[in-house]
Structure 1
Amino acid sequence: MSQPDSEDGEMIRTTFDAVTEDLGDGIVLVRLSGEIDIATTDFASESIRAAIAPPARTVLIDLSAVTFCSSAGLGNLVEARRLAVQHGITLALVGVGRPVDRPLTITGLGREFTIFASVEDARAQGGRQP
């Protein structure tokens, strides 16, 4: 992804990707990677919204490959939580490293999410805290 730099019109490059995988048994995995910022927030939001819908019963958002998470990225996670509640879908975050953990902790939002170390741990618990 790229967008024009506001000062000189040159393109700046932002690295981001989202891959969605159906794990079966009503579990959908969304793997986000790269930087979640103002330049990528719409793409992240679209990927998350598409996953958090019936027939999914559990949605896991894997953040282990995220290298930066701005307030826009936190907004994506808050939106995901709201949609999950609205649809009666269990939502859990997976592989939350420092680039995401730090803003979640500073803002207090970390308490609002179920968080697992790995996809395997989340699947073992059905996406719910033990």
Structure 2
Amino acid sequence: MPEPSAALASVQVDRSDGVVVLRVSGELDASSADELARPLKSALVDGVRGVVVDLTQVRFLGSAGLESLVTGSKRADGLGVPLLVVAVGRAVLRPIEATGLTAVFTLAETLEEALGRI
């Protein structure tokens, strides 16, 4: 039987030309935030040109999911690697805006826009 977090969130990782794209779907809450945190940490290594976290398929973004993004953002800054967050839906934008994280994250409206900015 799958773990509960597996049903809540999933992350597809694509690597191409030094850029890592994490396509997240489902719900990012306390029980599933590691589904994003682990691959995000793995993506942020020396030699990567940029990382995009695509949240267009996320239905819920809780504080633990935001914490995973903030941790990833700090790590990216330390490495000098751009990290962009694709966020368009109310379920994702509202918590980012309400917590003032629009000043922390580099946001894009589409994956294509984010990739073009790396």
Q: TM-score, normalising length from structure 1?
A: 0.82
Runs (5+) with no aligned partner, structure 1: 4-12
Match of 1:23 among 13, 16, 40: 16
User: CA shift at 1:61, angstroms?
Assistant: 0.4
Q: Does residue 2 of the first structure (1) align with residue 4 of the second (2)?
A: yes
Identical-residue share of aligned pairs (%): 33
Q: Does residue 42 of the first structure (1) align with residue 34 of the second (2)?
A: yes
Structure 2 letter corresponding to 1:59: V
Residue 85 of structure 2 is matched in structure 1 by 93
More helix, by proportion: 2
CA distance in 2, matches of 1:22, 1:49: 14
Give the alignment's Cα RMSD to 1 decimal. Answer: 1.5
User: CA shift at 1:121, angstroms?
Assistant: 1.1
Q: Give the conservation status (yes or no) of the 8 Å contact 2:87–2:93.
A: no
2:94 counterpart SS class: helix
Residue 6 of structure 1 is matched in structure 2 by none
Runs (5+) with no aligned partner, structure 2: none
Q: Would you say how many aligned residue pairs link Structure 1 and Structure 2?
A: 116
Q: Deviations over 1:6-42 (max 9, x none)?
A: xxxxxxx842101110121x21101111000011112
Where do 4+ consecutive residues of structure 1 move more than 6 Å?
none
Match of 1:73 among 57, 65, 74: 65
Q: Which has the larger radius of gyration?
A: 1
Q: Give the conservation status (yes or no) of the 8 Å contact 1:14–1:39.
A: no
Structure 1 letter corresponding to 2:78: Q
